[in-house]
Amino acid sequence: MGSVVKVSIGVVVGVILVLLIICFCCFVTFGFFSAAFQAGFEQNLTSMNYKFVEGNELSKNKVVIVGIKGPILTEKSGGVFDFLGGVQLVYGREVEKTFDSISKDEDVKAVILDIDSPGGTINGSKIILDAIKEFKEKTGKKVYAFINEVGGSGGYLVAIGADKIYADMGSTIGSIGVITGENRFYDKVLSDGTIVTENGIYIDIIHKGEGKDMGNPFRKMTEKEKNILLTSAENIYEYFVSEVSKSRGISPEEIKSKIGAYVYDAIVAKQYKLIDEIANLDTLKSNLIKDLNLGDDYGIYVIEKGGSFFDYFSSMYYMLLNNKKENNSLFSEECIETKQILMIYGSPSQLCVR
């Protein structure tokens, strides 16, 4: 009986050792693939593939739809996957690369921006606007924008780069303004989540340089600090108003005094000249094809980003190897610090899960 037990234990140990060796070999082998793919991973994510939607797939006249769906940031901070967190984000640098690629395709005759965005960072939104302008200047081709549901703040800044702006009925348009993040002040904190005190918790932050601890939630902001942030917001606001004024032919005075930073439905937005037409995407496509005089000789495509599943999997391996975690909270590491200046419809707190 004893010998049988010893044999059984030996077999189990042997099997475990074999499995460990196999796992180790797979891990190392996959590591080599991962290292090879990781170097080009960002390029894979931003690589562009056309997916045929409608029209004549054999036609050399392409109309490409570029989606601007979700809050706008500048670029990925660590190559993490948006789809794992269930949140769709727009990165200005990625859209910039998309337009650069499209500009090199002579078959592309026009671009449609499919927008559903409340805005985002100044930098990210401006990068996209500049990319649209450069595309138009370089190629002389048309760009039409379609606002579906929300085209607010930075999302609207992107839209004004187009030759024409369409919006579907029920969409929200505008928010031509700038808002800074919430600057909180916690007075006499009694608990840090682990302990509770009677007389409050006092926190000293050692710093050198006036204003280095601006935004410290354990002291009130000074008037000087408030004025600094206000000046920054005013500078960005003037830029925003200027861009809308030049693009839409609306005087800065009318934007500031009449339109303001409010949001409007499609009907009022058209009355204020914020958009050109109230129509659905199919109508926009039809009108664009007519404006291009293409008849039936066209194909409409959407941009698909990303590589194969193996590309994604290899990058995930790389992130795990480097102890990078994907947080399922709203934006994880892409969550914008609340004291950063934003162009966003609504409260900046919607950009972060607390």
How would you write the pLDDT of the chain (354 residues) with one tens digit per residue?
555 445 566 665 666 666 667 766 665 554 544 444 444 434 443 446 889 999 999 999 999 999 999 999 998 865 444 444 456 889 999 999 999 999 999 999 999 999 999 999 999 999 999 999 999 999 999 999 999 999 999 999 999 999 999 999 999 999 999 987 677 878 877 777 788 887 777 777 888 898 888 878 888 889 998 899 899 999 999 999 999 999 999 999 999 999 999 999 999 999 999 999 999 999 999 999 999 999 999 999 998 754 444 443 443 444 444 444 444 333 444 444 443 455 655 555 555 543
| pTM: predicted TM-score of the whole model, two decimal places | 0.75
**Looking at the structure, do residues 100 and 231 belong to the same domain, yes or no?**
yes
The size of the chain, in residues, is 354
Residue 171 sits in the same domain as residue 121? yes
As a whole number of angstroms, the longest Cα–Cα distance in the chain is 96
Between 309-321 and 2-38, two packed helices, what is the crossing angle to 10 degrees? 110
In a domain? residue 172: yes
Helix (H) or strand (E) holding 99: helix 92-103
Distances in whole angstroms, Cα of residue 27 to Cα of each of 17, 24, 181, 317: 15, 5, 44, 9
Residues 315 and 347 in one domain: no
Helix axis angle for 122-139 and 92-103, nearest 10°, is: 10
In terms of domains, do 338 and 297 share one? yes
Question: Do residue 88 and residue 189 come from a single domain?
Answer: no
41 belongs to a structural domain = yes
Looking at the structure, do residues 72 and 213 belong to the same domain, yes or no?
A: no
Determine the 3-state secondary structure of 298 from DSSP. Answer: coil
**Which strand (E) or helix (H) includes residue 46?**
helix 41-46
Using the 3D structure, point to which of 192, 220, 248 is the last residue of a domain.
Answer: 220
* 147: its two tokens: 């606002």
Q: Does residue 83 lie in a domain region? A: yes
In a domain, 104, yes or no: yes
DSSP β-bridge partners for residue 342: 121, 179
Distance (Å, whole) CA 33 – CA 29: 7
CA distances from 202 to 88, 185, 218, 219 (A): 40, 13, 8, 10
Distance CA 256, CA 246 (A): 14
What is the domain count for the chain? 3
Residue range 80-135, pLDDT digits in tens: 444 444 568 899 999 999 999 999 999 999 999 999 999 999 999 999 999 999 99
Domain extent, residue 248, equals: 48-178+222-305+327-351
290-to-63, 135, 213, 294 alpha-carbon distances in Å: 12, 21, 57, 7
Task: Flag whether 235 is in a domain.
Answer: yes
- Looking at the fold, whether 83 and 157 belong to one and the same domain comes out as yes
- Are 207 and 75 members of one domain? no
> Of 170, 197, 220, which residue sits at a domain end?
220
Place of tokens 């914008």: 336
> Looking at this protein, which amino acid is placed at residue 74?
T
Where do the H-state alpha helices sit in 206-353?
A: 223-248, 252-254, 266-271, 281-292, 309-321
Alpha carbon of residue 314 to chain centroid:
23
Distance CA 116, CA 99 (A): 18
Residues 82, 200 share a domain: no
Helix (H, G, I), strand (E, B) or coil at 55: strand
Are 276 and 240 members of one domain?
yes
Q: pLDDT tens digits for 186-220?
A: 887 777 778 888 777 777 788 889 888 887 888 88
In-domain check, residue 118: yes
Q: Which residues are within 8 A (CB) of 26 and not within 5 positions of it... i.e. 6 or more apart?
A: none
Q: Is residue 12 part of a domain?
A: no
Q: Is residue 10 situated within a structural domain?
A: no
* Same domain, residue pair 110 and 253: yes
- 169 and 228: one domain? yes
Q: Would you say the C-alpha torsion 144, 176, 97, 67 has a positive or negative sign? A: negative
